[in-house]
């Protein structure tokens, strides 16, 4: 500019720069900028139109003083009217009096103007590319037209900077989202076996045990509360074993009446009982060479337990209504949420069968004892159900904080059902207010803990263990933990971990 900026012009530029530094999204920044033009420069009507690829035209994206209808009408093709011409040629245009000059008036605003407003439109540039137009309606009193146009050109350039910055932020956000999605998937692959997902020490130890047990042929008893994933562990053991090509058959001992359970397990011959019109193989026969999973084994009727014991010891059985012995080769994996030792003491479960079933016991801890697994499980279930229902539901970080405090009496199954329900009922971002009230009731019953600190302490301990295990060779420790060397170095500095030199 030929002369220094006067106080009003300087305040306009300063306030515009302040908005740029706030880090708002594009539309919020443009809204604030147009308010600045009104507050400090008395521009009562203004708008910014940007080029939209899908429309092949300019469209008003933010306006001040215009009605919704006027904004909706604000679409300009390249070269169409004054705005389209500025976009096409990149040269600012000044019309001294809108009411008496040739002005296309696509928005319809001219009919509402009361004074002798001039119309000024300047290009919005990003580098050498014109991406839009800044348009204002202003009554010029003693102000120089040249200075006004020049100042608007400066603001147009600043809008271009804002657009470029916002574009970069959006690109980084998309890259971050993609990286988060890939990391979540990598975590799921790194810390999951046959659907068992988690990154806690407990789950990692469980996965290591499952891998070892799968290579043997011993009987396994899986214990844990309802919903912890006992059936997933049983399935994982089978499909990682040498029996994976053979059947995996599940029987829920509590869901079938005693009179039918025996027939289901051991089969029957024609005429063995009323309704037995033909012979039928039992589950043990059908699973020959494979695995039988006896879920809720604690509810197995006492009268059937000797027959189960015979299958384990002698690998043979007899169908109902037959005296013919049938040889079977099955591995038995059982599960219960009851204390079998107490049932043995009460005479409700055979002691010899108990010891046959528990050659190798596996306990799955409840979700409330491995809360660092919750974020990984949440990401996994969100991905599963968003894909299933073709949605893009996200959780506010505060929702995850609530989940971290909630006791999850139903364990992973309850968490899975909760995420599915939220995906079905909600769209976009799920906030705390969208959660059922019982979440907060249950949360306040528990002692509040600094969950973030718990997670960090756990991570620090795992890093120290990995370093010690690898003789403080960071590259090996990083591979063991599933980190890159850079990620490990960052965490070593963050947690102040001393790396010993041997």
Whether the predicted model's global pTM rises above the 0.95 cut: no
Residue of higher predicted confidence among 7 and 319: 319
d(CA 502, CA 497): 16
Distances (CA, A) of 48 to 17, 121, 460: 17, 10, 51
CATH architecture for residues 7-171: 2-Layer Sandwich (3.30)
Mean pLDDT computed over 196-200 = 82
Rounded to the nearest angstrom, the gap between the alpha carbon of residue 357 and the centroid of all alpha carbons in its chain is: 39
Residue 11 confidence (pLDDT) = 81
**Beta carbons within 10 angstroms of residue 324's beta carbon:** 8
pLDDT of residue 499: 82
Percent of the chain with pLDDT over 70: 90
pLDDT for the residue 101: 64
- Per residue in 111-130, pLDDT (tens digit) is 888 777 889 999 998 878 89
- The encoded tokens of residue 422 equal 């939220």
Give dist(CA 195, CA 234) in Å, integer.
11
Least confident of 94-103, 231-240, 250-259: 94-103
For 442-481, how does the pLDDT look when each residue is reduced to its tens digit (9 = 90+)? 544 444 445 456 566 777 888 888 888 888 888 888 877 7
The pLDDT score that the predictor gives to residue 448 is: 43
CATH architecture of 368-445: Orthogonal Bundle (1.10)
In CATH, the number for domain 451-494 is: 1.10.10.60
Per-residue pLDDT band for 316 (boundaries 50, 70, 90) equals very high
The average confidence (pLDDT) of the chain is 85
pLDDT at 444: 42
Mean pLDDT of all residues in 368-382: 91
Three-state DSSP string of 129-186: EEEEEEEEEECCCCCCHHHHHHHHHHHHHHHHHHHHHHHHHHHHHHHHHHHHHHHHHH
The pLDDT-based confidence of 385 (bands split at 50, 70, 90) is very high
Which structure tokens are listed for 332?
């038995």
CB-based burial, 66-75: b 16+ in 10 Å, e otherwise? beeebbeebb
Q: What tens digit of pLDDT does each residue of 25-39 get?
A: 788 889 988 988 888
CATH 3.40.50.300 applies to domain 193-365: yes
Which of 62-66, 124-128, 287-291, 417-421 bottoms out in mean pLDDT, i.e. has the lowest? 124-128
**Residue ranges covered by each domain of the chain:** 7-171, 193-365, 368-445, 451-494
CA distance 315 to 398: 55
Counts for the chain of helices (H) and strands (E), in that order:
19, 19
The distance between the two most distant Cα atoms of the chain, rounded to a whole number of Å, is 115
Q: How far is CA 467 from the centre of its chain?
A: 30
**Tell me, what's the pLDDT at 335?**
95
Q: Residue 202 has what pLDDT?
A: 87
């Amino acid at each position: 500019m030929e002369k220094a900026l006067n106080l009003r012009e300087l305040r306009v530029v300063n306030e515009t720069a302040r908005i740029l530094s706030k880090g708002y999204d594009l539309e919020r920044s443009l809204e604030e900028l147009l308010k600045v033009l009104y507050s400090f420069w008395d521009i009562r009507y203004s708008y910014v139109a940007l080029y939209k690829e899908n429309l092949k035209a300019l469209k008003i994206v933010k306006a001040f003083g215009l009605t919704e209808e006027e904004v909706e009408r604000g679409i300009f093709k390249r070269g169409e009217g004054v705005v389209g011409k500025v976009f096409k040629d990149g040269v600012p245009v000044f019309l001294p009096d809108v009411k008496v000059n040739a002005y296309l008036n696509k928005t319809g605003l001219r009919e509402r103007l009361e004074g002798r407003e001039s119309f000024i439109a300047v290009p919005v540039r990003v580098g050498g590319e014109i991406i839009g137009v800044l348009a204002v309606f202003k009554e010029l009193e003693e102000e120089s037209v040249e200075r006004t146009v020049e100042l608007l050109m400066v603001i147009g350039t600043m809008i271009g900077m804002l657009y470029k910055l916002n574009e970069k932020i959006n690109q980084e956000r998309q890259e971050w989202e993609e990286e988060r999605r890939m990391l979540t998937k990598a975590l799921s692959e790194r810390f999951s076996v046959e659907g068992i997902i988690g990154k806690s020490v407990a789950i990692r130890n469980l996965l290591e045990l499952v891998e070892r047990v799968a290579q043997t042929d011993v009987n396994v008893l899986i214990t844990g509360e309802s919903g912890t994933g006992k059936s997933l562990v049983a399935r994982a053991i089978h499909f990682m074993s040498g029996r994976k090509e053979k059947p995996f058959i599940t029987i829920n001992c509590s869901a079938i009446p005693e009179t039918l359970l025996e027939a289901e397990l051991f089969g029957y011959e024609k005429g063995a009982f009323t309704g037995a019109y033909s012979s039928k193989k039992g589950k043990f026969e059908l699973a020959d060479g494979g695995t039988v999973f006896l879920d809720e084994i604690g509810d197995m009727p006492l009268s059937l337990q000797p027959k189960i014991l015979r299958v384990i010891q002698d690998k043979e059985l007899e169908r109902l209504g037959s005296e013919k012995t049938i040889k079977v080769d099955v591995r038995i994996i059982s599960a219960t949420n009851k204390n079998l030792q107490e049932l043995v003491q009460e005479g409700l479960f055979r002691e010899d069968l108990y010891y046959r079933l528990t050659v190798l016991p596996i306990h799955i801890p409840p979700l409330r004892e491995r809360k660092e697994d919750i974020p990984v499980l949440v990401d996994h279930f969100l991905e599963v159900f968003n894909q299933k229902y073709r949605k893009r539901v996200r959780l506010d970080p505060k929702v995850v904080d609530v989940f971290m405090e909630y006791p999850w009496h139903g364990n992973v199954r309850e968490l899975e059902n909760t995420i599915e329900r939220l995906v079905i009922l909600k769209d976009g971002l799920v906030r705390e207010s969208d959660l059922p009230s019982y979440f907060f009731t249950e949360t306040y019953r528990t002692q509040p803990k600094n969950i973030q600190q718990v997670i960090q302490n756990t991570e620090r301990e795992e890093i120290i263990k990995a370093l010690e295990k690898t003789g403080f060779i960071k590259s090996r420790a990083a591979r063991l933990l599933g980190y890159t060397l850079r990620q490990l170095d960052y965490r070593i500095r963050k947690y102040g971990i001393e790396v010993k030199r041997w």
